[in-house]
Amino acid sequence: MIRCRDAKQWLTHQRGGDPPEEERTALQEHVQHCSACRVIEQHQKQIDALLRTSTPHTHEHARPRPNVSTEQIMVAVQRQQRISRQLEDIRVQQKSRVERMRPMGTAIAALGFFTLASIPLLLLAITIVQTDLVVEALTVFNNVIDFLLVLAQILQAGIILATRNNWLLSGVAFVVVIMMALWLRLMRPPQEVPGV
Ligand SMILES: [Zn+2]
């Protein structure tokens, strides 16, 4: 049997060196059953590992030195805290960047959609003015409005989906730009023949 206080002293190297054989088994048994000492053992292992990487070994001290100074422990603990703080900073930065990009992405997608949607309407207006076939044009207009409503619903669903993933959004924006370019190219009026 071993007392909790003794176990803690062995685990934190306060007694110097490793416990003798008979005490070692008792210590292992105690750690298995005592969660407080288990936490201390794990913490001490981390500190030992950090000290092993931060202090150069000599040949006669190939093993971690059992007696570490308070200063060394403080350095190791501070290093550990600094690393976890840096990781937390990175995590927060990434999160805020994603938050900032989300509304911007939605705005770009919406702008692309409205630009695309306004082109057929503009062309339709020109057709009405040029042909004077108002009744027929209105029927077409209604069909176009129906079509645009369906298209708007599909795109709205697309935008909601896209804002969840910035990469997907970039892809959608790219496709919209390409489609706009193709549309403008196809709808360009034929060149006037000179002298007519
Ligand atoms: Zn204990």
Sequential DSSP letters for 79-109: HHHHHHHHHHHHHHHHHHHHHHHHHHHHHHH
Centroid of ligand 1 to alpha carbon of 167 (angstroms): 52
Centroid of ligand 1 to alpha carbon of 20 (angstroms): 18
Is pLDDT of 59 > 60? no
Q: For 63-119, how does the pLDDT look when each residue is reduced to its tens digit (9 = 90+)?
A: 555 567 788 888 888 888 888 888 888 888 888 887 877 777 778 888 888 888 787
Q: State the pLDDT at residue 31.
A: 92
Q: For 17-26, how does the pLDDT look when each residue is reduced to its tens digit (9 = 90+)?
A: 778 888 889 9
CA distance 125 to 131: 10
Centroid of ligand 1 to alpha carbon of 14 (angstroms): 15
**Could you give the percent of the chain with pLDDT greater than 90?**
8
SS3 state of residue 193? coil
- Residue given tokens 């416990």 in the structure block: 19
Mean pLDDT of the chain: 77
Q: State the pLDDT at residue 32.
A: 92
The string of DSSP codes covering 58-87 is -GGG-SPPS---HHHHHHHHHHHHHHHHHH
Centroid of ligand 1 to alpha carbon of 44 (angstroms): 14
With cut-offs at 50, 70 and 90, classify the pLDDT of residue 38: very high
Measure CA 65 to chain center: 41
The residue type of 110 is: A
Centroid of ligand 1 to alpha carbon of 81 (angstroms): 26
Q: Where are the domains of the chain?
A: 99-186
The total of other beta-carbon atoms located within 10 Å of residue 112's CB is: 20
CA distance 119 to 135: 21
Provide mean pLDDT across the span 145-173.
73
SS3 state of residue 161? helix
CB–CB of 27/7 below 8 Å? yes
pTM of the model: 0.29
